[in-house]
A and B are shown apart, each in its own frame.
Chain A
Amino acid sequence: DAKTTQPNSMESNEEEPVHLPCNHSTISGTDYIHWYRQLPSQGPEYVIHGLTSNVNNRMASLAIAEDRKSSTLILHRATLRDAAVYYCILYPTGANSKLTFGKGITLSVRP
């Protein structure tokens, strides 16, 4: 399976935008890019996913590079509740494919 590379951690200030990067240079043409986040002692929460085009929802935006070798999760206005581990995952299209989690990036938000 194609892998993703994320920084171990990132800090941001409350009420400022946050850009979380993800590199996936070996992505195949049919891999979806999924993002989940996990707050301490809770189950992961779906954030957003996309294939080729940028995506927006009420939680975040996903910007996908034209060559699809990298993507960025954008939180438009960070709150303290956004402090979590964020996972960028490539999800292959095809029978029996599943989500495979890496270690993710730990986002800290300063008041």
Chain B
Amino acid sequence: DGGITQSPKYLFRKEGQNVTLSCEQNLNHDAMYWYRQDPGQGLRLIYYSQIVNDFQKGDIAEGYSVSREKKESFPLTVTSAQKNPTAFYLCASSPGLLAYYGYTFGSGTRLTVV
């Protein structure tokens, strides 16, 4: 079955370390997204990508970086510059960056800084 795989499900990081979250999709979708969710809050957009080798900042990109070298993959790096990285991270994809497409989400990675 097609879908989005995020790994790992849980991740612990020491302060000052960079960490990379994986997101892979086999839906043949062009657009991919990263969101962050804090407890009791809605999702906030970090980065998004319409096509390979292209990505754009979302609302809260500071302290994060991404790459899109393959259509299927959109990894997110949480750098040491991110001041409050503990959160639930969600990856999504859609056929394109247009409003009549629905998004498919992964099951998320819960990052904890210790």
Residue positions of A touching B, CB distance < 8 A: 30-32, 34, 36, 41-46, 49, 51, 87, 91-104
Contact = CB atoms under 8 A, between A and B. Distances in A.
B45 A100 contact: yes
Interface of B: 4, 6, 33, 35, 40-45, 48, 56, 58-59, 88, 90, 92, 97-100, 102-108, 110
Chain A contact residues: over half helix, strand or loop, or mixed?
A: loop
Contacts of B44: 101
A34 B92 CA distance: 15
B99 A93 contact: yes
B108 A42 contact: yes
Contact of A103 (B6, B41, B58): B41
Contacts of A97: 97-99
Given A42-B108, A43-B90, A43-B108, A101 B43 contact: yes
B28 to A, nearest CB: 17
Contact of B103 (A92, A96, A99): A99
Contacts of B108: 41-43
A101 B99 contact: no
Contact of B43 (A34, A44, A91, A94): A44
Contact of B105 (A30, A41, A45): A45
